[in-house]
Amino acid sequence: MFQRKLSLVAFSFFLSATSLAFAHPGHSSRKSASKMPEPCVSGERIWTDTTGRLLLQGSFVAVKHGDVQIRQADESLVNLKLSQFSEADQEWVMHRLTQIRQANEAFQHLSLPMMTSFVRSDDDDETTDIEDLALNQLPRLVVQVDQKDLRKSAGKVPEMAKAFEAFVKLKAIKTRWDDRFFYVESNGIPNHPMMIGITSWQQQVPIPQKYIGENAWQIPLHPVPANNPQSAKGNFLRGAIALASNGIPIFNPLNNRGDDAYLFGELDEFGGHCGRADDYHYHIAPVHLEKTVGKGLPIAYALDGYPIYGYDEPDGSKVTGLDKFNGHKDANGNYHYHATKNYPYLNGGFYGEVTERGGQVDPQPRAEPIRPDLRPLQDAKITDFVETKPGSYQLTYDVKGKKGSVSYSLASDGSARFVFVDTTGKTTTETYSPKRRGPDNAGKDRRPPPPPRRGENPPPPPRNDEQAVSNPSSKNNLPKLVVTSPVFEPGGTIPVEYTGDGASASPPIEWKEAPPGTKSFAVNLWHVPGPGDLKSYWVVYNIPANATKLLRNDKSTGTVGLNDKNRREYDPMKSKGPGVKQYHITVYALSSVLKLAPEKATRANLLEAIKDITLAEGTLDFQYERKGQK
């Protein structure tokens, strides 16, 4: 009698458990990614919608009638349609339900003698109590089976790990994974020579980076083909697009100006160089890694989760039929990219889904600079780079037969001491702290700025002098707006698409810290070609007081005034003459809306109109060097 009733109870519970989960693991947020999440404990998961945007954060509870139930941090339950979630999250939910069903099937086949171990008496009076006990224990038992199944699944090494295994054994990198991402930790320094052979050098040197913990690289374990694959030509000019098997990031083959970094002589013998943060990275496929990882394994993974192989197929056969992204599907329908000896050299874009933010794939680790980026050193060729002792390095370069060097040592507190010996034999020393990007010995034995490149105009006057030219009527003690752009760093190079050599689109800009009483904003992009001269490329005014940005090619926010060509439009930079030019975007916070006719809104008239109503202002500086004018 008891066995029959218990069987009915177990069968009934099995039917309900296939659609209801009792315990569910979560995916750690980016903040907690530094710790390997327990595979089978309840936890929060970051849920995204079909566009990749954050939907909510919480623990998966159940699926009922096509609705996904999520428990948020405040214990409230939210029900959303499965179709509202991203493909990756939908895949996770379906996989989770499969695990629950497998666990229930395992429970369904448990022998009754095991269940009757709960029985203490055959007395009918206790049967009801025993039935209640069994019913109360059923969810707990299914959870235990489910956890065992999950631990087995979580303990399984993903296929992706094989590409990184050799460097894990060399202790060059560390890896971990959860149900969605594969994480790689490294210090950004490869175990091969660096910098040698570079002929276009911006005076950057390799400094270890902290790509660890929350700042580790993450690659999707379950890549999803994109509805609209994105090309890397003119896009993703900032940050990495792939990660090599040795933990070194791979940037777009085009530099942040849109030029082929390899053809411009910016790369060393292994296809790498250092960025503004002294962060070493590749710009072409690191095929030399095949000697370490072994033939037939990927040498890198694109940040969309698809592998990148060398010049041959994994089985050694010839590569044919590559698409515009340098990829194709194998006989089993699995997509992958290949290295090529010509552009785009590796993945020429993303076949899979990625999120683009600020001109780069997001999220990805941050490189931490400890000193300012410098200007290119004309005619310099790097001839040697060695680690003289642990934590100390020396780079040697040659300029027309004369040698110079940069030696530096890294201290345990993150500071760095640099010794520069230029081609005349002059020695200077600088020490940098990680908390301040300027030298700690500012004003003491500082190096003079490098001479201008051949044919280049002299550097512009200091910012204070420029500001006087920018707005002679402005007050020096005005509060400062913080002006930035999501597509280039302050003082950096503007991407080519915002110039006359590209799409001629106006750049996106953002500002913050406007003072109370602001009723409108005005924007001006300007340039000082020489002493006493100034050019204006873009005037926008009567931007609403609640605005904090202008989008790319924004023509609907505010009123567009006249550029120096007497046209009401953005004039993309097409500076004549060789060399890097300095440009500036100034944003003004105003105490009223301007009564200025668009056909009279020149830069001069704008400055005259705002001279007594400017509450705050801020300027974003950037560089541009026109193609073919070097």
The model's pLDDT over 545-562, given as tens digits with 9 standing for 90+, comes to 999 999 999 999 999 999
pLDDT at 578: 64
Average pLDDT over residues 511-526: 94
pLDDT at 127 over 60: no
Nearest to 326, CA basis, from 241, 215, 414: 241
Predicted confidence band of residue 256 (pLDDT cuts 50, 70, 90) = confident
Contacts of 110 (CB under 8 A, 6+ apart): none
Average pLDDT score, the chain: 79
Q: Where are the beta strands (DSSP E) in 529-571?
A: 535-544, 549-550, 559-560
* CA 425/CA 430 separation, integer angstroms: 16
pLDDT at 103 over 90: no
Query: Percent of the chain, pLDDT > 90?
Result: 54
Amino acid at 264: F
Q: The tokens 């609640």 sit on which residue?
A: 546
Choose between 148 and 366: higher pLDDT. 366
Q: The tokens 């379906």 sit on which residue?
A: 94
| DSSP per-residue string spanning 444-458 | SSPPPPPPPPTTPPP
Taking every pair of Cα atoms in the chain, the longest distance, rounded to a whole number of angstroms, is 106
**pLDDT-wise least confident of 88-102, 374-388, 481-495:** 88-102
Kind of pairing between the strands at 559-560 and 549-550: unpaired
pLDDT at 28 over 70: no
What fold does the segment set 380-439 form as a domain? Lipocalin (2.40.128)
Query: Percent of the chain, pLDDT > 70?
Result: 75
**Is the fold of 2-154 the same as that of 463-624?**
no
Q: The tokens 């010509």 sit on which residue?
A: 342
CA 113, chain centre distance (Å): 57
Q: Roughly how many angstroms between the first and final C-alpha of the chain, as a whole number?
A: 93
pLDDT at 113: 38
**pLDDT-wise least confident of 4-8, 214-218, 300-304, 613-617:** 4-8
Burial (0-12, 13-18, 19+ Cβ within 10 Å), 356: middle
pLDDT at 580: 80
**pLDDT-wise least confident of 61-65, 283-287, 330-334, 346-350:** 61-65
Predicted confidence band of residue 219 (pLDDT cuts 50, 70, 90) = very high
pLDDT at 530: 65
**pLDDT-wise least confident of 2-6, 205-209, 449-453:** 2-6
Q: How many angstroms separate the Cα of 223 from the Cα of each of 49, 237, 327, 332, 484?
A: 16, 22, 14, 16, 33
Predicted confidence band of residue 104 (pLDDT cuts 50, 70, 90) = low
Q: Write down the architecture of domain 463-624 according to CATH.
A: Alpha-Beta Complex (3.90)
pLDDT at 110 over 80: no
Average pLDDT over residues 239-249: 97
Q: Where are the beta strands (DSSP E) in 545-607?
A: 549-550, 559-560, 581-590
pLDDT at 417: 95
- Is the alpha carbon torsion for 510, 514, 518, 523 positive or negative? negative
pLDDT at 16 over 60: no
pLDDT at 478 over 70: yes
Average pLDDT over residues 454-481: 50
Kind of pairing between the strands at 509-512 and 249-251: unpaired
pLDDT at 156: 79
Give the Cβ contact number of residue 548 at 10 Å: 12
Choose between 534 and 619: higher pLDDT. 619
pLDDT at 173: 97
Coil, helix or strand at residue 441: coil
Q: Say if CB 533 and CB 457 are below 8 A apart.
A: no
* CA 465/CA 599 separation, integer angstroms: 30
pLDDT at 216 over 80: yes
Q: Which residues pair with 177 in a beta bridge?
A: 182
Give the Cβ contact number of residue 115 at 10 Å: 21
- What number of residues does the chain have? 630
C-alpha count within 13 angstroms, C-beta hemisphere, residue 435: 2
Residue ranges of domains in the chain: 2-154, 161-361, 380-439, 463-624
Q: What CATH number does the domain located at 2-154 have?
A: 2.30.30.700
Nearest to 13, CA basis, from 137, 130, 124: 137
Choose between 603 and 448: higher pLDDT. 603
pLDDT at 455 over 90: no
Give the Cβ contact number of residue 216 at 10 Å: 24
Choose between 138 and 612: higher pLDDT. 612
Strand (E) or helix (H) holding 137: helix 124-154
- Give the pair of three-digit tokens for residue 437: 């990007």
pLDDT at 194 over 90: yes
pLDDT at 123: 35
Cα angle 287, 288, 294; round to 5: 90
